[in-house]
Structure 1
Amino acid sequence: MNTKKKPLFIAFSSQKGGVGKSTFTALVASTLHYRLGYNVVVFDTDFPQHSLTKMKVRDLAMVMENEHLKKLAYNQFMAINKKAYEIVQHKADSVLERAIEYINTSAIPIDVVFFDLPGTVNTPGILKALAGMHHIFTPITADRLVMESTLIFTQLLQDVIMKKVETSIKTINLFWNEVDGRERTPLYDVYNQLIAQLGLSLMQSQVKNSTRFRKESENDSKTIFRSTLIPPDERLMKACQLDLFITEFLKIIQL
Structure 2
Amino acid sequence: MENKEQCPLFLGFSSQKGGVGKSTLAEIVSSILYYEQGINLFVMDCDLSQDSFYKLREREKSIVQESEELSKSMQEYFHHLGKKAYRIYKSAPKEAVRTARSKIDGISNEKYQLVIFDFPGHAGTTELMELSLQMDYILSPIEVDIQSLVSCLAYAKTITEIGVSMSDSRIKDIILFWNKVDRRVRNIIIDEYTKLIHEYELTLLPGYVYATHRFSHELSTYGLRGVFRSTYQPPARGLRTGTGLDELVNEIIQRLKLKTKTENGND
Contact 1:207-1:242 within 8 A present in 2 as well:
yes
Matched position secondary structure for 2:206: coil
1:58 aligns with 2:59: yes
Q: Which amino acid aligns with 2:187?
A: T
Structure 2 match to 1:23:
24
Q: C-alpha distance in 1, partners of 2:241/2:86?
A: 24
What's the TM-score, normalizing by structure 2?
0.88
Aligned residues: 254
Matched position secondary structure for 2:159: helix
1:95 is displaced (CA, Å) by: 1.4
Structure 2 match to 1:228:
231
1:14 aligns with 2:15: yes
The superposition leaves residues 80-121 of structure 1 with CA deviations (integer Å, 9 ceiling, x where unpaired) of: 221111111111112111111111111311111001111345
Structure 2 match to 1:207:
209
Counterparts of 1:104-253 in structure 2, within 5 Å, are 104-106=105-107, 107-122=109-124, 125-164=127-166, 166-219=168-221, 221=223, 222-253=225-256
Q: C-alpha distance in 2, partners of 1:72/1:64?
A: 11
Q: C-alpha distance in 2, partners of 1:170/1:130?
A: 10
Change beyond 3 A, Cα 1:152–1:121: farther
Contact 1:131-1:162 within 8 A present in 2 as well:
no
Contact 2:163-2:170 within 8 A present in 1 as well:
no
1:48 is displaced (CA, Å) by: 1.9
1:225 is displaced (CA, Å) by: 0.8
Counterparts of 1:36-75 in structure 2, within 5 Å, are 36-65=37-66, 69-75=70-76
1:165 is displaced (CA, Å) by: 6.1
Contact 1:93-1:124 within 8 A present in 2 as well:
no
Matched position secondary structure for 1:4: helix
Q: C-alpha distance in 1, partners of 2:139/2:9?
A: 13
Q: Which segments of 5 or more consecutive residues in structure 2 lack a partner in the other structure?
A: 259-267
Change beyond 3 A, Cα 1:200–1:74: same
1:6 is displaced (CA, Å) by: 2.3
What's the TM-score, normalizing by structure 1?
0.92
Indicate the larger mover: 113-122 or 33-42: 113-122
Q: C-alpha distance in 2, partners of 1:191/1:65?
A: 48
Indicate the larger mover: 220-229 or 57-66: 57-66
Indicate the larger mover: 67-76 or 223-232: 67-76
1:208 is displaced (CA, Å) by: 0.9
Q: C-alpha distance in 1, partners of 2:90/2:222?
A: 30
Contact 2:163-2:172 within 8 A present in 1 as well:
no
Indicate the larger mover: 153-162 or 128-137: 153-162
Q: C-alpha distance in 2, partners of 1:68/1:236?
A: 23
Contact 1:65-1:219 within 8 A present in 2 as well:
no
Matched position secondary structure for 2:20: coil
Indicate the larger mover: 17-26 or 54-63: 54-63
Matched position secondary structure for 1:142: coil
Could you tell me the percent identity over the aligned residues?
A: 34
1:161 is displaced (CA, Å) by: 3.8
RMSD: 2.0
Structure 1 match to 2:33:
32
Q: C-alpha distance in 2, partners of 1:70/1:235?
A: 24
Change beyond 3 A, Cα 1:68–1:246: farther
Change beyond 3 A, Cα 1:139–1:23: same
